[in-house]
Amino acid sequence: MRIARFSIDGNVAFGAVEGEAPDGLVLDIIKGIPYADFELSGTKVPLSKVRLLPPVLPNKVVAFGRNYAQHAAELGNEVPDVPFAFLKPTTSVIGSGDAIAYPSFSNELHHEAELAVVIGRMCREVPRERVKDVIFGYTCANDVTARDVQKREKQWARAKGFDTSCPLGPWVETDLDPSDLTIQATVNGEQRQLGRTSEMIHSIEDLIVNISEAMTLLPGDVILTGTPAGVGPLNVGDEVAVTIEGIGTLTNKVIKRG
């Protein structure tokens, strides 16, 4: 099931996405929130009549770096022996169609297409065999990075945590095998990144076991699983799209920060 979060007439709701793109998509509004048992209301609205929001409002976004060998190599980094985590604040999260604001303190902005895992229940110290039980679903992500800032500052808080640096969307797909999906990024229609989730060094199970040893994960929290090779520059006016097989396409335009 595809679960979207949206606004219409000033109200925010979740809905199940039904139909086929580009013109036949409708939202069946969900009663309540999707992390618990829910019912579909039967009230349907065309997707074209709503504004898509970030599909979740995470308490935290945990991102893992250097989880594809070719990407680590293209930036001159070694592959870490264990998962390498950092945090992105909730203020970095935007949805599909929202603008990425080019930060004033950077001159080298990069796209990073990633598969995002959405947590569905509160959990801590998750055993490997129970990881699937705590996952709500999957969505597309773009770990937008101020690369020049990342290179010169030991901490990545500013380089990867600035406002609008974490586009998510367009919705969460709850019924998906994430083990071998095509993941790609285009800029102005030109392909930049192309890889498969099967190329991850550390699996989704590895990542969730690793981070849940340290912190409690809450419903709606997001895990970014790393990016394949091909990261590259974004400029004001560019349109960047992240497409993941079985999920859909996350699209954002880069604007000058006001």
Report whether 235 contacts 157 (CB < 8 A): no
86 to 7, 61, 203, 211, 251: CA distances (angstroms): 30, 9, 17, 10, 24
Which residues are within 8 A (CB) of 185 and not within 5 positions of it... i.e. 6 or more apart? Answer: 111, 112, 113, 142, 191, 192, 193, 230, 240, 241, 242, 243
Separation between Cα atoms, residue 95 and residue 171, nearest integer Å: 9
3-class state of residue 32 by DSSP: coil
Q: List per-residue pLDDT tens for the chain, 258 residues long.
A: 999 999 999 999 999 999 987 678 999 999 988 998 889 999 999 999 999 999 999 999 999 999 999 998 898 888 888 999 999 999 999 999 999 999 999 999 999 999 999 999 999 999 999 999 999 999 999 999 999 999 999 899 999 999 999 999 999 999 999 999 999 999 999 999 999 999 999 999 999 999 999 999 999 999 999 999 999 999 999 999 999 999 999 999 999 998
The pLDDT value recorded for residue 77 is: 82
The pLDDT value recorded for residue 22 is: 64
The pLDDT value recorded for residue 17 is: 97
Domains and CATH numbers, the chain: 2-52 (2.30.30.370), 61-256 (3.90.850.10)
The terminus-to-terminus CA distance of the chain in angstroms comes to 38
3 to 121, 131, 169, 171, 188: CA distances (angstroms): 16, 20, 10, 6, 27
The pLDDT value recorded for residue 253 is: 98
